[in-house]
A = this chain, B = another copy of it.
Amino acid sequence: MDIRVIAPVTSQECEARAFEQYSAGARRDTRISTVLLERGPASIESAYEEMLAAPGVLAQILEAEREGMDAVISNCMADPGVAAGREIASIPVIGPAEASMHLAAMLGERFSVVTVLERLIPALRRCAHASGLSQQLASVRAVNIPVLELTDRTRAATALVHEAIRAVQDDGAHVIVLGCTGMAGLAGAVQQGLAQAGINDVPVVDPAMAALKIAEALVDMGLSHSKPSWTDVGATGSGV
């Protein structure tokens, strides 16, 4: 199957990293392709930047469907353009936040999300509420490292482990969700760090992989999102 991953930013490095990570996680019969935005923010750390990214993401979702993709992923924990994308496209449109939170809810009684910046906490809490998972959400925590500095993997992993331990010990989390797709690839390191602190068997969910696996599952099952839930506007919207 063909899965298109949209890096909803203008940074080629982000797109390259997404291609690498999704390709590594994809099944053998899954072809990953990635695109970025012509115009948009450098990174998404606010509703404001999400809004700036949205028109470009929507154009790319339409393009993915036109090219015959089987599913499309908006690769950011704000799930930018996902709701609107489901109105204009018929193929599955997947957001990492929604996918990873539902997976986490299946893995344990209560999960915590560890994201980049304090200021993203309310938005992630709202996402859990909107997904009906308020009761399963133990907490949202932040490592206070901006997205673009996550390239320092050691620093990022150390900070993630620190907050994940607090999520388990102080907030009663049983599952950890990495709260930024820029953290993709760090789940193993966090798992190890938890183990070194004596915390075993607390799964760590990589949101990019969650999005990919849910996309593969839906394509296998021949399913896409329900149109009555997302107002079918067809291709009649004013041209993007």
Residues in chain A within 8 A of chain B (CB atoms): 25, 27-29, 41-42, 45-52, 54-55, 58, 81, 83-84, 87-88, 90, 98-99, 102-103, 105-110, 117, 119-120, 122-123, 125-126, 129-136, 168, 174-175, 200-203, 205-206, 209-210, 213-214, 216-218, 220-221, 223-233, 237-238, 240
Contact = CB atoms under 8 A, between A and B. Distances in A.
A237 B41 contact: yes
Contact of A27 (B27, B108, B131, B238): B27
A107 B226 contact: yes
B125 A132 contact: no
A79 to B, nearest CB: 11
A175 B221 CA distance: 14
B229 A110 contact: yes
A174 B223 CA distance: 13
* Across the A-B interface, the 3 shortest Cβ-Cβ residue pairs: A108-B226, A201-B227, A119-B231
B46 A51 contact: no
> How many copies of the shown chain assemble into the complex?
6
23 contacts: A46-B231, A48-B84, A48-B237, A52-B240, A54-B54, A55-B55, A90-B201, A103-B223, A107-B229, A109-B126, A119-B228, A119-B231, A120-B231, A132-B132, A168-B228, A200-B227, A201-B228, A202-B226, A202-B227, A203-B223, A213-B220, A214-B217, A217-B217
